[in-house]
Every structure is written in C-alpha cells, then in structure tokens.
C-alpha cells in the first residue's frame, strides 16, 4: 500500500505536465497495483514534453518492443 501512495505522490508532482486524462489513467494504474506500469507511462509521457530530450538506449528498446 505504501508503494501505491508513493507512486501517486510522484504523479502529483508531474500533474502540471500531464493532461487530466493522462493523470487519471496513471493514477488508476497505480491504484490497481500496477505501479511499475504507471511509472513507465510517466517516464514515457514526460520525456515527450521536452523537445530537447535526448534519445537513450532504453527508448530504442521500447520502440522495437512495440
């Protein structure tokens, strides 16, 4: 339960960078126990916010997995 609370607290810090639907979706994932998925989604969504965000090896692995 504490992991869910920590994840939601982290999501609240990024609330201004997310749309309301994105925020609600990520909170719903966290509340249902998929905290890893919520954090992964947060990383993916917030990396796209900055135009100067560097592509990393993780991005390449994620793109090929889709």
Q: What is the pLDDT of residues 5-58, one digit of tens each?
A: 999 999 999 999 999 999 999 999 999 999 999 999 999 998 865 555 555 555
> Residue 66's pLDDT band (boundaries 50, 70, 90)?
very low
Q: Assign 3-state DSSP to the chain and report helix, strand, coil percentages, each to 5.
A: 75, 0, 25
pTM beyond 0.75, yes or no = no
pLDDT at 46: 87
Alpha-carbon distances, residue 61 vs 45, 57, 65 (angstroms): 16, 6, 6
Interatomic CA distance for residues 26 and 39, integer angstroms:
8
φ, ψ dihedrals at 34, nearest 5°: -95, 65
Count CA atoms closer than 13 A to 18's CA, side-chain side: 21
**More confident site: 13 or 59:** 13
């Amino acid at each position: 339960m504490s992991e869910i609370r920590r994840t939601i607290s982290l999501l609240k810090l990024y609330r201004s960078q997310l749309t309301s639907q994105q925020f609600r979706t990520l909170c719903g994932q966290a509340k249902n126990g998929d905290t890893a998925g919520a954090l992964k989604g947060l990383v993916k969504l917030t990396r796209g916010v900055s135009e100067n965000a560097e592509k990393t090896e993780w991005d390449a692995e994620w793109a090929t997995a889709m």
